[in-house]
Structure 1
Amino acid sequence: MKRKLQNITSKIWSFSAAACILAVWQAAVSLGCIEGFMLPSPVQVLRTFISEFPILMDNAGITMAEAALGLLFGIATGFAAAVFMDRFERAYQAFYPIVVLTQTVPAVAMAPLLVLWFGYEMTPKVILIVITTFFPITVGLLTGFKSADPDAVNLLRAMGAGRMQIFRYLKLPGAMNQFFSSLKISASYAVVGAVISEWLGGFGGLGVYMTRVRKAFSFDKMFAVIFLISVISLLLMRAVELLQKKCMPWDNGAKDR
């Protein structure tokens, strides 16, 4: 009960801070401190969001399809890479620096090359999302696998357990916290990666919509898209938290979230 009260209190403070920021923003535009065409007020953004809602939903469907497909492949790739590098120490020493190196190249710099190589369809967008999402999954799972208690590993070996049994009953359950923490990051990266890839070419999606309204200097529509992307990312992170509760019933921390 005490923990639930603390969670409610923390959410109240978060909502209060957001409300204060919006109030200051609205007041600054209404009083003329900031020109409305440069920074539309929250009320104006809300009106635009409501009026453009059908178009936004159509484009959001395309972006979400790209993000979901890329995230799915990113999870599969990250899981396979983590298991492989955990199983073979030489593979870890050889490939882990390369995995880190892939994250030093900005996604904005890679997107034009992918569009050049694979065209303007969904393929380059999915590839970019995979590149941006598999790294947190790989690192999170690897950290979880390698943090397994050596005494517990030795105990299972003494009881006759093989590598697969040690992985299934010890390493994998122990890495679930790190996996879901990484999945939250990857879920938000997937949406952002999809939008970034759409900036550079495509036939639909929130990124394409943003490019069009930016050229028309419709900044209220730009902010409406930004608001929608933020909401989608928050909903995805919340969905990951609910999935964590279902998959980790033994974790008291997951139940209290």
Structure 2
Amino acid sequence: MSTRNAIRHAATAPAVLPVATFIGLLILWELACRLFAIPSYVLPSPSRIMGGFGAVDAARWFAHVWSTFRVAMMGFLLSIVISLPIAIALARSEVFSRAVYPILVVIQSTPVVAIAPIIIVVMGAGDLPRVVITCLITFFPLVVSTTTGLLATPPELIELSRSLRAPVWREITQIRLPYAVPYIFSALKISVTLSVIGAVVAEFVAAEKGLGYFIQFSTSMFQIQQAWSGLVVLVLLSLSLFQAVNLIQRVFFPWSIARQSR
């Protein structure tokens, strides 16, 4: 392979272009802040944001990240436990679907930010209301995508299983769920990032720890660089959780990725 072809191949690699674009945007951001003398309280430069990390000790960072991560994961796992049975019931029963699906749409259409204070008042100021708020934000994509995947099963396979008098649980676990796996993981990737948003929303309302609380407190004290550094940590946390779900799919369900790419 010639040098020119090697450079072209490296430039078109999947990981190179996004990283190069991101670095280019950071450089433009830094130059714009310096050239136009943008005040740091309006838009701090990346170098000032990096300085905000050093203003907070590692123990405080760990406490805030762990608090947000813990609530996000509990709400995310709770949404999985709730969503899968609902999705199976929606796919199995048209009567149940007509009765329950409009209620799910109403719940999803209700702004969680508006009802979060009510949930805090009713359930107290512990982890439970924050987990519930996170679950309310994350469960709907799981229900919709899982139901779509279950209904995407070829009807001839369902007819074959019923002609062989296969139990309902075998039809669900061995026929419908394997076809729904690509849809489930698509929803999981969305919901796991939404879980971080849900945890932050809950921390805005009532919390003494967490990245949402840290950003809100830093902003109220006009420590804008620290607030932006907290935002960066939030983005990194969301990306890490997204990649973790993607890794689980690649390791344990690689066939679902091949089916998804068709």
For normalisation by structure 1, the TM-score amounts to 0.92
Q: Does 1:193 align with 2:219?
A: no
**Number of matched residues?**
252
In the aligned structure 1, how far is the partner of 2:12 from the partner of 2:30?
Answer: 27
Report what 1:238 is aligned to.
243
In the aligned structure 2, how far is the partner of 1:29 from the partner of 1:118?
Answer: 45
Report what 2:110 is aligned to.
105
In the aligned structure 2, how far is the partner of 1:6 from the partner of 1:140?
Answer: 36
Q: Does 1:247 align with 2:252?
A: yes
Q: Does 1:228 align with 2:233?
A: yes
Instruction: Report if aligned partners of 1:75, 1:134 keep a CA contact under 8 Å in 2.
Output: yes
* Cα displacement string for residues 185-244 of structure 1 (whole angstroms, at most 9, x for unaligned residues): 110011111011111111211111112111111111111011001000001010001111
Report what 1:120 is aligned to.
125
In the aligned structure 1, how far is the partner of 2:15 from the partner of 2:104?
Answer: 36
Q: Does 1:43 align with 2:28?
A: no
Which runs of no fewer than 5 residues in structure 1 stay unpaired? none
In the aligned structure 2, how far is the partner of 1:7 from the partner of 1:118?
Answer: 53
AA matched with 1:34: I
In the aligned structure 1, how far is the partner of 2:257 from the partner of 2:129?
Answer: 40
Report what 2:184 is aligned to.
179
Q: Where do 4+ consecutive residues of structure 1 move more than 3 Å?
A: 5-8
Across the aligned residues of Structure 1 and Structure 2, the Cα RMSD in angstroms comes to 2.0
In the aligned structure 2, how far is the partner of 1:158 from the partner of 1:136?
Answer: 33
Instruction: Report if aligned partners of 2:40, 2:224 keep a CA contact under 8 Å in 1.
Output: no
For normalisation by structure 2, the TM-score amounts to 0.90
Q: Does 1:29 align with 2:24?
A: no
AA matched with 2:202: S
Q: Does 1:13 align with 2:6?
A: no
Distance 1:35 1:70, change over 3 A: same
Task: Give % identity.
Answer: 28
In structure 1, which of residues 72, 75, 79 is the aligned counterpart of residue 80 of structure 2? 75
Which runs of no fewer than 5 residues in structure 2 stay unpaired? 1-8
In the aligned structure 2, how far is the partner of 1:14 from the partner of 1:53?
Answer: 31
In the aligned structure 2, how far is the partner of 1:7 from the partner of 1:114?
Answer: 50
